């Protein structure tokens, strides 16, 4: 913004603001790039890793933009404060063509980058890996999740998956709308009564324990509607399937 | 700054007084809202009806037992103590009695006996027709061990779940409670009301470190009772009837 052409005091203030902006941006960027990845939730699939990376990168890009506004505002509020109401209007501000083109160009380029990044991520998420995925039927009801492995005839209240094997969840609800969310896999969609919706195919990429949560308010015990997720080795998964199948075949009926 | 005499000063002082009064009023209203919310929550005792706890009786070293019953209405434990008709606010609601707040010891073998007086409602999810998480993966139904029942013979379930974000050991126990026949004759009188001879279900599970768990019935037995939600409304969504807590420790 141009205040009065040739005003030395204006250049002085502008220089101060820009110095503050650059210093704070550098400090904030360093802090975020060090601490940001540590704050991200566990990622157990390539989609989840990409989601976490996206958050880190987008925040890193947003920091200097946000600070640009905040530093200008804070500097103005502090440096140009007065105790009483001013009796005359401030200077007439006129932006040059070059400044406007620079502002629009920089912000436009940033937005374009974000769009391309997002499209790339969506393309990755929608590309199915080769081979047949493991199908898991997910049933939501007030207030629990149950999982069925049709290929093995096994049902469970825990979601157990083999590492490195693609899996597709087919999700439905028996009563109200629930939200099926496995944050570690970056999988989330509604569980609707009367319909079965398939998620994108995801591949668990690391061993560990995670959780399924309901993310759609569904009644009194919505907060308790969760289930453990365990990603195990192929051998452990096969053993678990065998044990679960034996357990479900026992006993006489009533 | 141009000084024009007293009028602008008086205007500024009047505006400042109004702003101060507005700030005080906003704080007072906010405090009143918070106080009202707190009082309201205390009035309704949190999520709703929260009955007193039933503590499991010690039956030996590291062993305890607890007895419950499930009725097709609320008279036995939501009515008056004398057994006169009452049933609380919703006498036609199915309910577990004497309470839904249970306390069992930690690191113990807990034996649960449930008398089922209600008839069957077809399960939406056959997963709950199988006994899960108990000792030996089975239960005793009228003295006979079973691991699985027919999904259309289940009256209610007693299903214990672990809350999320907790440090207590993971616990999942689910037992189908076989319903009595719809044509069974009334054989007992409880709280001034008659019920058929119950099915007696007994099972055992082990507790670990102290913690708090929740339990539910997962049969859609709330159909037509205070809301739809495919049978999970009414008593199914109200503590003190078909859902409660188990405190271990």
pLDDT tens-digit profile of A160-206?
Answer: 999 999 999 999 998 889 999 999 999 999 999 999 999 989 999 99
Residue A254 lies in a domain: no
Residue A88 lies in a domain: no
Q: Do the Cβ atoms of B232 and A219 come within 8 Å? A: yes
Residue A152 lies in a domain: yes
Question: What percentage of chain B exceeds 90 in pLDDT?
Answer: 51
What integer pLDDT is reported at residue B158 of this predicted model? 96
CA distance B38 to B127: 40
Domain ranges of chain B: 1-43, 53-248
Partners of A247 on chain B (C-beta within 8 Å) are 137
Helix axis angle, A8-39 to A46-79, nearest 10°? 150
In this predicted structure, the answer to whether residue B55 has a pLDDT above a threshold of 60 is yes
CATH number at residue A155: 2.60.40.420
Q: Which of A87, A219, A253 sits opposite B2 (nearest CB)?
A: A87
DSSP single-letter state for residue B179: P
- In terms of Cα–Cα distance, which of B151, B153, B221 is closest to B181? B153
Q: Do the Cβ atoms of A157 and B164 come within 8 Å? A: no
In this predicted structure, the answer to whether residue B50 has a pLDDT above a threshold of 70 is no
- State which H helix or E strand residue A69 sits in: helix A46-79
Residues in chain A: 254
Partners of A217 on chain B (C-beta within 8 Å) are none
Partners of A144 on chain B (C-beta within 8 Å) are 159, 161, 216, 218
| One domain, residues A58 and A106 | yes
| One domain, residues A106 and A144 | no
Assess B47–A contact: CB distance below 8 Å, yes or no: yes
Assess B159–A contact: CB distance below 8 Å, yes or no: yes
Cis peptide before A53 (omega within 30 of 0): no
Cβ atoms of A144 and B217 closer than 8 Å: no
Give the pTM: 0.79
CA distance B58 to B229: 39
ipTM > 0.85 (yes/no)? no
Domain B53-248 -> CATH class: mainly beta
Give exposure, A84-113, as e/b (b: 16+ Cβ within 10 Å): eeeeeeeeeeeeeeeeeeeeeeeeeeeeee
What integer pLDDT is reported at residue A88 of this predicted model? 79
Assess B147–A contact: CB distance below 8 Å, yes or no: yes
Residue A28 lies in a domain: yes
In this predicted structure, the answer to whether residue A248 has a pLDDT above a threshold of 80 is no
- State which H helix or E strand residue A227 sits in: strand A226-232
Band (pLDDT 50/70/90 cuts) for residue B3 is very low
Q: How many CB pairs under 8 A join A and B?
A: 93
| One domain, residues A104 and A145 | no
Assess A246–B contact: CB distance below 8 Å, yes or no: no
What integer pLDDT is reported at residue B12 of this predicted model? 59
Q: Give the count of domains, chain A.
A: 2
Q: Do the Cβ atoms of B172 and A226 come within 8 Å? A: no
Q: Which domain holds residue A40?
A: 8-80+99-126
| One domain, residues A143 and A162 | yes
**B239 to chain A: closest CA residue:** A220
What integer pLDDT is reported at residue B163 of this predicted model? 87
């Amino acid at each position: 913004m141009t205040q009065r052409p040739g005003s030395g005091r204006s250049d002085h203030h502008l220089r101060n603001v820009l110095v503050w902006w650059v210093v704070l941006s550098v400090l904030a960027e360093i802090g975020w790039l060090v601490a940001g990845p540590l704050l991200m939730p566990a990622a157990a699939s390539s989609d989840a890793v990409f989601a976490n990376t996206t958050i880190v990168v987008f925040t890193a890009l947003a920091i200097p933009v946000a600070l640009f506004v905040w530093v200008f505002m804070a500097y103005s509020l502090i440096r140009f404060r007065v105790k009483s109401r001013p009796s005359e209007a401030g200077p007439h501000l006129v932006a040059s063509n070059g400044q406007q083109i620079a502002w629009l160009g920089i912000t436009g380029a940033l937005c374009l980058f974000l769009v391309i990044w997002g499209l790339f991520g969506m393309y990755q998420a929608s590309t199915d890996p080769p081979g047949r995925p493991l199908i898991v039927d997910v049933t939501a009801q007030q207030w629990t999740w149950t999982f069925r492995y049709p290929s093995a005839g096994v049902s469970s209240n825990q979601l157990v998956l083999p590492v490195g094997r693609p899996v597709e969840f087919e999700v439905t609800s028996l009563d109200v709308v629930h939200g099926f969310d496995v944050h570690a896999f970056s999988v989330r969609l509604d569980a609707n009564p009367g319909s079965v919706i398939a998620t994108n195919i995801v591949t668990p990429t690391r061993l560990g324990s995670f959780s399924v949560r309901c993310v759609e308010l569904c009644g009194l015990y919505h907060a308790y509607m969760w289930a453990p997720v365990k990603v195990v080795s192929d051998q452990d998964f096969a053993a678990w399937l065998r044990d679960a199948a034996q357990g479900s075949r026992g006993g006489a009926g009533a | 700054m141009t000084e024009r005499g007293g009028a602008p000063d008086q205007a500024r002082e009047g505006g400042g007084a109004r702003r101060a009064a507005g700030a005080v009023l906003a704080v007072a209203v906010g405090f009143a809202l918070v106080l009202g919310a707190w009082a309201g929550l205390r009035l309704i005792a949190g999520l709703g009806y929260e009955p007193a706890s039933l503590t499991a009786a010690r039956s030996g070293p590291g062993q305890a037992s607890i007895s419950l019953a499930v009725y097709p209405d609320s008279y036995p434990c939501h009515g008056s103590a004398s057994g006169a008709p009452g049933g609380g606010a919703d006498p036609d609601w199915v309910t577990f009695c004497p309470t839904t707040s249970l306390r069992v010891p930690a690191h113990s073998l807990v034996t649960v006996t449930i008398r089922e007086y209600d008839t069957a409602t077809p399960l939406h999810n056959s997963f709950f027709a199988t006994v899960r998480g108990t000792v030996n993966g089975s239960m005793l139904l009228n003295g006979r061990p079973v691991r699985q029942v027919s999904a259309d013979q289940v009256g209610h379930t007693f299903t214990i779940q672990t809350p999320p974000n907790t440090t207590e050991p993971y616990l999942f126990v689910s037992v189908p409670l076989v319903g009595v026949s719809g044509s069974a004759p009334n054989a007992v009188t409880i709280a001034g009301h008659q019920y058929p001879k119950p099915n007696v279900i007994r099972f055992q599970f082990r507790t670990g470190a102290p913690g708090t768990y929740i339990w539910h019935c997962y049969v859609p037995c709330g159909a037509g009772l205070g809301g739809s939600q495919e049978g999970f409304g009414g008593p199914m969504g109200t503590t003190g009837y078909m859902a409660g807590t188990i405190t271990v420790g």
